[in-house]
Amino acid sequence: MTYTTIKKERVGSTAIITINQPETMNKLDFTNMEEIISALKEEERNLECTAIILTSVGDYFCGGGNLGDFRTKCSMEIRDFGDSLKSIHCTIAGLSKPVIAAVQGHAFGGGFSLVEACDLAVASEEACFATPESRHGLGPAIAMVGAIQTVPKKMAMQLAFLGDQLTAEEALEKGLVNLICPKEDVLSKTIEIAERISKNNPSAIALCKKLYIQTVDLSYDKQLEYAIGILVSMLKADDAAIAYRANQEGDKPVWKNGSVS
């Protein structure tokens, strides 16, 4: 596929998807959401890829959604836009491979929830995070879902009602990001994390991600029951046998990259 709003490249076994619309603050529109989803699915099928980095160029990681003049849109058009936003989030969640946000700039509105949707995140010390729709006479919807997954109720309401910004340090404290560093180091630090992941059992990584997604809203008992099924799948996968043999023989494992059911 030829991309017009994003760039895709490879560093070792890591795929890097870069939102490349700095003139619009890298806001999500129909075209770039379709391209991001296509690129994510393409790398999911690529057996040589072990992790995916989602990043951007410019001062914004993602400034939110870009529907244009919503006054001219019918309800169905607005719903279609919402469905596209939902699709990009669910695609990230549904991949077997880790998706890491390299947040070089500000993440506002839908950009806030996009960071939350990723499995890990590295942010610039200069980055800010907010759901600022209330300052423009509206209110966050998709972005609010991202906020309530990450921060306590009172903070989520503060973000929604007042449009207050979280600094990078506050985002780290709240668990929205895993690491902060100077802006010029964000991508290299993210690649380092991706390379560390690449050394681990890809089947186990995929199953851990699946375990979290499938059990996050279940009761403790149901979480443990589901985890038993994951344990069986993990230990019966080809990569588990490779790991056992490598540990016994003191060798570095060479993963099969088999599919995970």
How does pLDDT run across 118-159, given as a tens digit for each residue?
Answer: 999 999 999 999 998 888 888 888 888 888 888 889 999 999
Q: Is 258 a residue whose pLDDT tops 90?
A: no
The reported pTM is: 0.90
Provide the β-strand partners of residue 122.
102, 179
> Which residues in 5-42 are b (16+ Cβ under 10 Å) and which e?
bbebeeeebbbbbbbbbeebbbbbbeebbbbbbbbbee
Q: Please give the pLDDT value at position 260.
A: 41
Order of strands, sheet of 60-62, starting from the edge strand that comes earlier in the sequence: 60-62, 106-108, 128-130, 165-167
Rounded to an integer, what distance in angstroms lies between the CA atom of residue 195 and that of residue 205?
13
* pLDDT tens per residue, range 8-36: 999 999 999 999 999 999 999 999 999 99
Average pLDDT over residues 63-85: 86
The residue ranges of every structural domain in the chain are 6-198, 202-249
CA distances (Å), origin 21, targets 35, 174, 213: 12, 29, 30
Rounded to an integer, what distance in angstroms lies between the CA atom of residue 99 and that of residue 197?
11
Average pLDDT over residues 251-257: 80
Q: Where are the alpha helices (DSSP H) in 18-150?
A: 30-45, 75-94, 110-117, 142-150
By three-state DSSP, how is residue 28 classified?
strand
> Which residue shows structure tokens 């207050």?
164
Under a CB-based contact definition with an 8 Å cutoff, are residues 20 and 57 in contact? yes
Q: Please give the pLDDT value at position 257.
A: 61
Q: Is 246 a residue whose pLDDT tops 70?
A: yes
Tokens of 54: 């989602």
Please state the CATH superfamily assignment of the domain spanning residues 6-198 in this structure: 2-enoyl-CoA Hydratase; Chain A, domain 1 (3.90.226.10)
Rounded to an integer, what distance in angstroms lies between the CA atom of residue 140 and that of residue 145?
9
Rounded to an integer, what distance in angstroms lies between the CA atom of residue 250 and that of residue 114?
40
Q: Is 87 a residue whose pLDDT tops 90?
A: yes
